[in-house]
Structure 1
Amino acid sequence: MQKINVRLCAAVAVAAIALPLSAQATGSCTTEPKAKWMQDNEVSKQLEKQGYQVKRVKPEGNCYEVYALDKSGKRHEMVVNPMDGKPVSEEGNE
C-alpha cells in the first residue's frame, strides 16, 4: 500500500509541474486561423520597440512562443497572442 502511495504522490507531483507548462505553451491565445495572425517579424518588431532583443519567434499551438533578451541581458520565454503581439505569459531566466 505504501509503494502505491509513493507512486501516486510522484505522479501527482509530475502532473502538477507538467500541466501548467503545457497549458502555457498551448494556451488560449486565439481561435483565429493562422492566415489572420501577425507575421512573426511583426511580433519581433513590436517587442523590440519595448526593449527586447528577440532571438526566436515560433508558432506553438494557437500562440507564438518568443525567446528574447531584455535590456540587461536577462533571458525571457514568452507566450504571445498572435493577433495583437501582446505577451499572455512570461518566464524570465537569469
Structure 2
Amino acid sequence: MTFRKTLVLVLALAAAGAAQAGPSCTEEPVSKWLTAEQMDAKLRTLGYVDDVRKLHVSKGKCWEIDGHDKAGKAVEVYFHPISGVIVQENRKD
C-alpha cells in the first residue's frame, strides 16, 4: 500500500471514530450547570432509568446516562448541562 493510500485510510478511520463520539454541549463553567440531583430528577421525569452506569459528564461536557427509556429499550442519552434538553439519544436495541 502506498503512503498516500495509507494516509487516506488513517484519516477516514479517524473521521469515523470522531463521528461516533458524543456531542459537544458547552464551554460554560460548571457553576451554571444543573446539579446532578436536578438532572437525575429531570431524566426520571422524562421516563429514563439510569440503571447501567451513573449519571456522569461526557467528554463533550454533557450530562450523559446509559440506561433504559420508559419502553425498556437500552439507550445512551446526552443532555445539555444547563437547559437539561436532550442533545442526542442513541438506542442500543
Same fold (TM over 0.5): yes
User: What's 1:49 paired with?
Assistant: 45
Comparing 80-89 with 5-14, which one deviates more in the overlay? 5-14
Computed over aligned residues only, the root mean square deviation of the Cα atoms, in angstroms, reads 1.9
Partner Cα separation in structure 2 for residue 82 and residue 68 of structure 1: 18
Shift >3 Å, 4+ stretches: none
Partner Cα separation in structure 2 for residue 9 and residue 30 of structure 1: 31
Matches within 5 A, 1:1-94: 2-22=1-21, 24-25=22-23, 27=24, 29-55=25-51, 56-60=54-58, 61-94=60-93
Identity of aligned residues (%): 28
Partner Cα separation in structure 1 for residue 45 and residue 56 of structure 2: 19
Partner Cα separation in structure 2 for residue 48 and residue 58 of structure 1: 15
Q: Could you give the per-residue CA deviations for residues 63-89 of structure 1, whole angstroms, max 9, x where no partner exists?
A: 112212012321111221110111111
TM-score (norm 2): 0.78
Give the deviation of 1:6 after TM superposition. 4.1
Give the deviation of 1:5 after TM superposition. 4.4
Gaps of 5+ in 1: none
Gaps of 5+ in 2: none
TM-score (norm 1): 0.77
Partner Cα separation in structure 1 for residue 73 and residue 35 of structure 2: 25
Equivalences, count: 90
